[in-house]
Amino acid sequence: MEESDQDYLLELWDANICPNCGATIPDGARVGSGKKREGGFCSLSCYGDYHKATLVDRHRKTLAIVERHRNS
């Protein structure tokens, strides 16, 4: 993740704003990885939507590892 993305996510964290949908996040309702630099979201759906490309890439790599293991 680029530094400018991290700065953006940190700014929104401090303002209690979801970086995906722009909703205000009530106290104690933030979801995500727990790392401020990765953002805080109003729901798991928003977390998944925002990080979709990363999660899809991680899934593809996992499938490739499983396939190699199955074929060995």
Within 8 A by CB and 6+ apart from 36, the residues are 9, 10, 13
| Domain boundaries defined on the chain | 3-70
Q: In this structure, are residues 13 and 5 in contact, taking their beta carbons and an 8 Å threshold?
A: no
CA dist., res. 64 & res. 47, Å (int): 25
Tell me how far CA of residue 8 lies from CA of 2, 3, 15, 23, 24, in angstroms. Answer: 10, 9, 11, 15, 15
- Global model pTM greater than 0.85: no
Tens-place pLDDT, residues 13-69: 999 999 999 999 999 999 999 899 999 999 999 999 998 988 899 999 999 999 999
